[in-house]
Amino acid sequence: MKVTINDVAERAGVSIKTVSRVINNEPSVRSSTRERVMNVVQALNYRPNLAARNLAGTHSYSIAFIYDNPNAYYVIDMQNGILEACRTQGYELLIHPGSGHTDSIHRELRKLVEQSRVAGLVLTPPFSETPAVIDTLTSLDVEFVRIISAQDSPQLEENCIHIDDEAAAFAITQHLLQLGHKHIGYLCGGTEHYSTLGRLAGYRRALREAGLPFESELVKEGEYSFDSGVAGATALLHSPTSPTAIFAGNDEIAAGALFAARMLNIEVPQQLSIAGFEDSPFSRQTWPKLTTAQQPNEDIARCAAELVLERIQCRGNQEKDQQQAGRKTTNLRRSFTPTLVVRDSSGPVAERTLNPQT
């Protein structure tokens, strides 16, 4: 027989309302009562009906994950991280892929907030970096947290998780420079992402600090996709200033670059070094395995979800205990810098000039 909230209340010797307050993490419950109720919840293996709880009353117990990213590995990592935080605090997760079109995403967001009754949202690029989307959510008076590419700075908004792509890209480029490479190609992702600009900035800064000129012909614009990596690397390797190393904007692009090199009978890393970014499964499924920057997407997503849940709770508790609510958000991690992972795809500069077959 299914355990109900009535069973928990009877066993714990409290009212149904008290059980509800404990499950909803409301602050107006004595610690001894909370502990007694939770012991009964665990003993009876009680699982509250979150969908019914969303429909009852005025408070929502769902948050939404909004994304527009073709990389399935990225989306799954984000989903798993957010789910971990949701399960801990008794919230449901609504996963919503955006269309990418400005008008339709505004309509979708309004529908989510007004009809699906979400309490908060986690936004990933490019939506998290689109001013019009931020304006729409602000007008809807809903809590949201943005995952954005930016250096950690006190001037940035409190509802952001910052990824320092520039510092990580600097470290990757510096690694290639230390191997003796002076002609390093760079394959960009989509320019609608702040991460593309941050990673390009890190690449340029490393060259500048090494006293090397920025050669625009060594930079190819593209998208965060395998095919874009193939096309960009092929163009670079057939150019008069063929690079001895390629830094790709993510691992999927790097995998495409590796494929292009193989099609041109160029050995990696003996003749050409290749590095990616993010440490996705692409970086470990290639041969050789890719040097990259390890970006902990699950941890980033979990922190973003914890932050939006804290902000939801703070909003609910603002009048009751504003000082305590203010303290809760200050201890949450809000910045990440992806770390260099050196693998087999990067090596010392080749002693001979590359001659790709046409």
Q: How far is the C-alpha of 130 from the C-alpha of 67, rounded, in Å? A: 12
CA atoms within 13 A on the CB side of 265: 4
Residue whose C-alpha is closest to residue 179's, from 345, 332, 306: 345
Residue whose C-alpha is closest to residue 253's, from 146, 345, 167: 345
Q: How confident is the model at residue 115 (pLDDT cuts 50, 70, 90)?
A: confident
- Do 140 and 215 belong to one domain? no
CATH number at residue 307: 3.40.50.2300
pLDDT for the residue numbered 68: 86
Instruction: Say what percent of the chain tops pLDDT 70.
Output: 85
pLDDT for the residue numbered 51: 47
- Do 170 and 286 belong to one domain? yes
Q: Are 93 and 304 in contact (CB under 8 A)?
A: no
- Do 22 and 169 belong to one domain? no
pLDDT for the residue numbered 9: 87
- Do 231 and 170 belong to one domain? yes
For residue 351, being part of any structural domain is answered with no
- Do 121 and 100 belong to one domain? yes
- Do 149 and 190 belong to one domain? no
- Do 169 and 286 belong to one domain? yes
Residue whose C-alpha is closest to residue 185's, from 127, 224, 240, 107: 240
Domain boundary among 295, 321, 346: 295
For residue 342, being part of any structural domain is answered with no
Domain boundary among 240, 273, 295: 295
Q: Are 259 and 154 in contact (CB under 8 A)?
A: no
Q: Which residues contact 280 (CB under 8 A, 6 or more apart)?
A: 71, 73, 74, 250, 251, 252
pLDDT for the residue numbered 318: 54
Q: 3-class SS at 8?
A: helix
Domain boundary among 295, 319, 346: 295
- Domain count within the chain: 3
- Do 155 and 87 belong to one domain? yes
- Do 197 and 256 belong to one domain? yes
Three-state secondary structure string covering 303-342: HHHHHHHHHHHHHHHCCCCHHHHHHHHHHCCCEECCEEEC
Residue 316's domain comprises: 59-164+296-337
pLDDT for the residue numbered 204: 98
For residue 190, being part of any structural domain is answered with yes
C-alpha distances (whole Å) from 99 to each of 120, 126, 142, 159, 284 are 19, 11, 21, 23, 30
pTM of the predicted model, to two decimals? 0.79
CATH number at residue 42: 1.10.260.40
Q: What share of the chain is helix, strand, coil (3-state, %, to 5)?
A: 50, 15, 40
- Do 286 and 182 belong to one domain? yes
For residue 54, being part of any structural domain is answered with no
pLDDT for the residue numbered 352: 42
Q: Which residues contact 220 (CB under 8 A, 6 or more apart)?
A: 185, 186, 187, 188, 231, 232, 235, 236
Q: Which of 19-23, 56-60, 229-233 has the lowest mean pLDDT?
A: 56-60
- Do 286 and 169 belong to one domain? yes
For residue 310, being part of any structural domain is answered with yes
Q: How far is the C-alpha of 93 from the C-alpha of 235, rounded, in Å? A: 43
- Do 216 and 288 belong to one domain? yes
For residue 236, being part of any structural domain is answered with yes
